[in-house]
Amino acid sequence: MASSTDDLSRRLTEARDVADKEVQKALDEAGGLPMYDMLRYFMGYENPLKTPSPGMHGKRTRSALLLLIAEMFGGSKSAPVLAAGIELFHNFTLIHDDIEDGDEMRRGQPTVWKEWGINHGINAGDAQTLLVDRCLLRASGIDSDGHAAAELMNETFLGVIEGQYLDFELTEQTLGDATVTEEAYLEMIRKKTAILIGVAVAAGGRSAGTDETTTQQLFTYGESLGMAYQMTDDLVSIWADEKTTGKAACGDIYERKKTFPILYARDNGAEDTLLPLYAEREPLTEGDVAKIVTTLEGVGAKEATVDCIISHIKKATGVAMSLPINQEDKDLLAALAEKIAASAGIVQI
């Protein structure tokens, strides 16, 4: 699998470069108002207002995936513009997420709202959604496949916003509320995170002329990657070293987030420990967090989360092997899925 991993890295890097140039082009064509410089700053490009931190402008994962899949199915004229559209949309959600969550830093630099105020943050995010529309309209005008892919993306984007709504609802409820379930959480992350990766993969294929069956297979592959990715984030937030993740150890617990390990533990014998600690108004102490982690481990929450990740990885790999592409590309897509598992410390699928 080493050769597949090396090839994956090379081809994703090439795709990221293409996507990055297209995103920058979309921003450069937007106009000269300083609000577009705010967007350039957030995306990591040079601008007159404030120089972004070097190397901190995101991985361009979704756009690179779209381009990679389009290449696997013979190439597409509309794929670069669609890639810019999905990257701009993803980052629009982050601009607004930072406001909604009160986050002052992202990618090692101040967020847009922190640097220029909430009003500018909201307005800049709104402007970026309209730049997304420009990309989709442009792709629609290139050919019929570009039009079909743009329609698919536009439909899915609304689902992502629905996922944000579900996140708000879940956050506002107490851990003991009957509506706060594993199923509700999984549906929230499916919409908020997984379907955007799903549509990146599906739109790449559709822009290259894939039929409805193959397009749906591609969506399932990407959606499974997205579920595994988010579940991995849940896992490493609790059980990975801070130096590895770059995030505060047990940050999700300190924030009392109702992630999968917490919900699993609550439903499997840890309710009496978790509910009082999650109901308190005072910040959790190190001792509280240590107690929660010990409780999670005692009821098998870590193992349950790993099993969930593995199930999504297996689903993605199975779909990859059924796609009508050459074996080398199938292996590459399988390597991508297994890379997510490796990031969670899972070495055997």
pLDDT digits (tens, 9 = 90+) for 201-210: 999 999 999 9
Mean pLDDT of 230-243: 87
Higher pLDDT among residues 243 and 253, named by residue? 253
Residue 230 has pLDDT above 80, yes or no: yes
Mean pLDDT of 239-257: 78
Q: Which residue has the tokens 């399988």?
A: 334
Q: What is the structure's pLDDT at 245? A: 54
Residue 243 has pLDDT above 90, yes or no: no
Mean pLDDT of 3-31: 93
Residue 178 lies in a domain: no
Residue 3 has pLDDT above 90, yes or no: no
Question: Residue type for 168, please?
Answer: F
Residue 216 lies in a domain: yes
Residues 6+ apart with CB under 8 A from 171: 258
Q: What is the structure's pLDDT at 54? A: 82
Residue 247 has pLDDT above 80, yes or no: no
Mean pLDDT of 315-321: 98
Are both 322 and 224 inside the same structural domain?
yes
Report pLDDT digits (tens) over 109-129.
999 999 999 999 999 999 999
DSSP 247: S
Residue 196 lies in a domain: no
Q: What is the CATH number for 54? A: 1.10.600.10
Are both 144 and 247 inside the same structural domain?
no
Band of pLDDT at residue 57, cut at 50, 70 and 90: confident
In total, how many domains does the chain have? 2
Report pLDDT digits (tens) over 128-172.
999 999 999 999 999 999 999 999 999 999 999 999 999 999 999
Distance CA 311, CA 197 (A): 17
Cβ–Cβ under 8 Å, residues 152 and 199: yes
Long-range contacts of 154-161 (CB under 8 A, 24+ apart): 156/195, 156/196, 156/198, 156/199, 157/89, 157/132, 157/196, 157/199, 159/191, 159/195, 160/89, 160/93, 160/191, 160/192, 160/195, 160/196
Are both 154 and 231 inside the same structural domain?
no
Residue 237 lies in a domain: yes
Are both 226 and 163 inside the same structural domain?
no
Residue 244 has pLDDT above 80, yes or no: no
Distance CA 245, CA 233 (A): 9
Percent of the chain with pLDDT over 70: 97
Task: Show which of 173, 193, 225 is a domain's final residue.
Answer: 173
Give backbone dihedrals phi and psi of 105, rounded to 5 degrees, phi first: -130, 145
DSSP 106: E
Residue 184 lies in a domain: no
Residue 183 lies in a domain: no
Within 13 Å and on the Cβ side, how many CA atoms surround 106?
22
Q: What is the structure's pLDDT at 141? A: 98
Angle between helices 195-207 and 61-72 (to 10 degrees): 30
Q: What is the structure's pLDDT at 56? A: 72
Distance CA 57, CA 20 (A): 10
Distance CA 200, CA 195 (A): 8
Residue 185 lies in a domain: no
Cβ–Cβ under 8 Å, residues 166 and 258: no
Task: Show which of 156, 173, 190 is a domain's final residue.
Answer: 173
Are both 75 and 165 inside the same structural domain?
yes
Mean pLDDT of 58-72: 96
Residue 246 has pLDDT above 60, yes or no: no
Structural domain harbouring 2: 1-173
Cβ–Cβ under 8 Å, residues 251 and 94: no
Are both 221 and 159 inside the same structural domain?
no
Task: Show which of 124, 147, 173 is a domain's final residue.
Answer: 173
Q: What is the structure's pLDDT at 345? A: 80
Angle between helices 301-322 and 212-239 (to 10 degrees): 160
Residue 343 has pLDDT above 90, yes or no: no
Burial readout 265-283 (b: 16 or more C-beta within 10 A, e: otherwise): bbeeebeebbeebbeeeee
Distances (CA, A) of 68 to 184, 196, 246: 32, 16, 28
Cβ–Cβ under 8 Å, residues 73 and 187: no
First to last CA, the chain: 13
Are both 328 and 243 inside the same structural domain?
yes
Are both 343 and 265 inside the same structural domain?
yes
Q: What is the mean pLDDT of the chain?
A: 95
Q: What is the structure's pLDDT at 347? A: 66
Residue 187 lies in a domain: no
Are both 149 and 223 inside the same structural domain?
no
Are both 44 and 118 inside the same structural domain?
yes
Mean pLDDT of 263-287: 96
Cβ–Cβ under 8 Å, residues 66 and 139: no
Mean pLDDT of 80-106: 97
Mean pLDDT of 82-94: 98
Band of pLDDT at residue 292, cut at 50, 70 and 90: very high
Q: What is the structure's pLDDT at 341? A: 86
Are both 310 and 233 inside the same structural domain?
yes
Are both 44 and 161 inside the same structural domain?
yes
